[in-house]
Amino acid sequence: MSINIDQVSRRFGTTTALHPTTLSIGNGELVGLLGPSGSGKTTLMRIIAGLEQPSEGRVLFGERDVTRLHVRHRRVGFVFQHYALFRHMSVFENVAFGLRARPRAERPSNEEIKRRVFALLERVQLEKLASRLPAQLSGGQQQRVSLARALAVEPEVLLMDEPFGALDAKVRVELRRWLRHLHAELGFTCVFVTHDQEEALELSDRVVVMSQGRIEQVDEPTRLYRRPINRFVFEFLGETNALSGEVRNGHLALGENAGLDLPGVADGPVELLLRPHEVALATSPSAGARLPVTVSAIAPVGAEVRLELEVTWSTQPWQATLSHAEFERAGITRGTRCYALPQQLRRVDEASGALVDMPLPNQGSDRP
């Protein structure tokens, strides 16, 4: 079932939680709503579910206008942030709830309920724990029960509020992969809310980035990461190195002993952004870039080594990531002094806040 959100907004008293928003989600698509707290992502999802009424606008499931349709009749599966399992019911009864709550005429027989609940529990690998109470399960198991419970009513739309937020890192990664498979297999339309950019990028077909009640960008994960349209999206999607100052005659002077050639850039203030992996380190400055740094911390994380760089020419320290091989070769230790060479630069357009790719400064050696 496709979902169309048409000029939907939501105000609480004088505060606006969601500005008029339009978004369409295709049938079978897996869409992540990503944003910091207060960005309106949860409000938007609760409006889709019908747990919240929009102040203005329409919500359509397929061609059908469901704006005024009660939650009970929308047939959406909703997975809550802290699972919201019925604490006094066994796992089995939790999953069976949606089937038992149907009007008598549509209610399946007890045997049918039992068969369907066990089929679902098998799918979430919890059939052995059917008689346990929620409090006797681990977080990951509770999450799977709540998913099975939501799927039991055979929803055409599955909504999940911070589905993996409360779980530890390893379980989170496992469950994400598992959900991706389940989605591929069952093909329901799925919208989930998260503030974790990694989760959004890994799980979604498309990511909707939100901030302060507005949609900033909607794109596929790879495109989103490579081409964020503004500063907010760029900074929200990952670690950021920033550089700012006044350009004079195509040169950005950064204090006494640092600077960057920016040929073709008009005089005036500039703000530049780049990712830690877009920083290379060298023992000497290049012809166009003289950015001295001191390595102040080294953290090997997974496949890469993260370096924190102390700088005199920016208010915030910079970050750089190297592969282990590069790190070994460079022979860097804490306190090593070297030079940062930007491998890619984006300029923040002052008027619109949009990001513009910049030509790189001369990478050649400084020596004439």
Partner 1 sequence: MRRIGDSTPVRVTLILLAVVLSALVLLVPLVAIVFEAFARGIGPFITNLTDYFTVQAIWLTLLIAVITVPVNLVFGIFLAWLVTRFSFPGRRLLQTLIDIPFAVSPVIAGLLYLLLYGRNGWLGQWLDGHDVQLMFAWPGMLLVTIFVTCPFVARELIPLMQAQGSREEEAAVTLGANGWTLFRRVTLPNVRTALIYGVILTNARAMGEFGAVSVVSGAIRGQTLTLPLMVQQLYQDYNTVGAFVAALLLAVLAVLTLVVKALLDTYAARKHAP
Residues near partner 1 (CB under 8 A): 49-51, 71-78, 80, 82, 84-90, 97-98, 101-102, 131-133, 136, 146, 149-150, 152-153
Decide whether 90 or 363 has the Cβ nearer to partner 1: 90
What's the closest the beta carbon of residue 115 comes to partner 1, in angstroms? 18
Question: What type of residue is 322?
Answer: L
How does DSSP assign 218-279, residue by residue? EE-HHHHHH---BHHHHHHHS--EEEEEEEETTEEE-SSS-EEE-TTPPSEEEEEEE-GGGE
Instruction: Provide CB contacts within 8 A for 87, sequence distance 6+.
Output: 133, 134, 135
What's the closest the beta carbon of residue 30 comes to partner 1, in angstroms? 19
Decide whether 83 or 234 has the Cβ nearer to partner 1: 83
> Among candidates 290, 303, 273, which has minimal Cα distance to 341?
290
What's the closest the beta carbon of residue 229 comes to partner 1, in angstroms? 34
Decide whether 89 or 173 has the Cβ nearer to partner 1: 89
Decide whether 86 or 110 has the Cβ nearer to partner 1: 86
What's the closest the beta carbon of residue 144 comes to partner 1, in angstroms? 15
Contact 302, 327 (CB under 8 A): no
> Which tokens sit at 120?
């679902």
Decide whether 85 or 270 has the Cβ nearer to partner 1: 85
What's the closest the beta carbon of residue 57 comes to partner 1, in angstroms? 21
* CB-CB neighbours of 298 under 10 Å: 15
Contact 101, 89 (CB under 8 A): no
